[in-house]
Amino acid sequence: MARMKFLCDSERCIECNGCVTACKNEHDVPWGVNRRRVVTLEDGVPGEKSISVACMHCTDAPCSAVCPVDCFYTTDDGIVLHDKDLCIGCGYCFYACPFGAPQYPQKEAFGVRGKMDKCTFCAGGPPADNSEQEIEKYGRNRIAEGKLPLCAEMCSTKALLAGDGDMVADIYRERIMKRGTRPQSWGWEKAYQEDV
């Protein structure tokens, strides 16, 4: 059984923010919400490292565990999705997520939150695939079209990989062998635990 995973190779990421732009453009993500962002560690210092971060679609997703209305579900291949019709915007998932993935549009005055929004691995949500309703609420459903997340597909340095975890691991293993360095698969242990 294929297990979908993201991996960001910090040795290759050049902080171009192309993945962030591609995601926002593909899904028409509103202002103030970033499903993906690039984080730079030790910015400005020689040897700085950048990583592209979004929902990692965890094996045992903490967001799903804490949701009081059980609006999360996981597909057979491990993509964690949610139903915005059930979400009450409580923010519990934001506090539980180790990657800061859940985002909330500020819809009203006094900081009232809207429905939670996060990376869907380009797999949409419960409405019919690529229906107007799905595109409006969750963005495009590329997985239903046989495509993979756009952020990874258009990454110019192939730093960001998304797909079957075994295939992703094979590519990364080859890179590590060539470089002769230690693997730094950022976030993998936290997200996939024994499934790494």
DSSP the chain: ---EEEEE-TTT-----HHHHHHHHHHTPPTT--SSEEEEETTTSTT-EEEEE-----TT-HHHHH-TT--EEE-TT--EEE-TTT-----HHHHH-TT---B--B-SGGG-B---B---TTB--SSSTT-HHHHHHH--BTGGGT---HHHHT-TTS-EEEEEHHHHHHHHHHHHHHHT-----TTHHHHHGGG-
For the CB of residue 110, give the shortest distance to other proteins in the complex, in Å: 26
Build a one-symbol-per-residue string for 100-129: x at contacts with other proteins by CB under 8 A, - elsewhere: -----------------------xxxxxxx
Cβ closer to other proteins: 100 or 126?
Answer: 126
Cβ closer to other proteins: 49 or 175?
Answer: 175
Site for other proteins in 146-165 (CB under 8 A): 146-148, 152-153, 158, 161-164
For the CA atoms of 150, 129, 33, 92, what is the dihedral angle to 10 degrees? -120
Question: Binder to other proteins among 2, 14, 41, 88 (CB under 8 A)?
Answer: 2
For the CB of residue 130, give the shortest distance to other proteins in the complex, in Å: 10
Site for other proteins in 18-47 (CB under 8 A): none
Question: Binder to other proteins among 76, 108, 132, 194 (CB under 8 A)?
Answer: 76
Contact between 11 and other proteins per CB under 8 A? no
Site for other proteins in 82-101 (CB under 8 A): 83, 85-86
Contact between 173 and other proteins per CB under 8 A? no
Question: Binder to other proteins among 64, 97, 101, 192 (CB under 8 A)?
Answer: 64
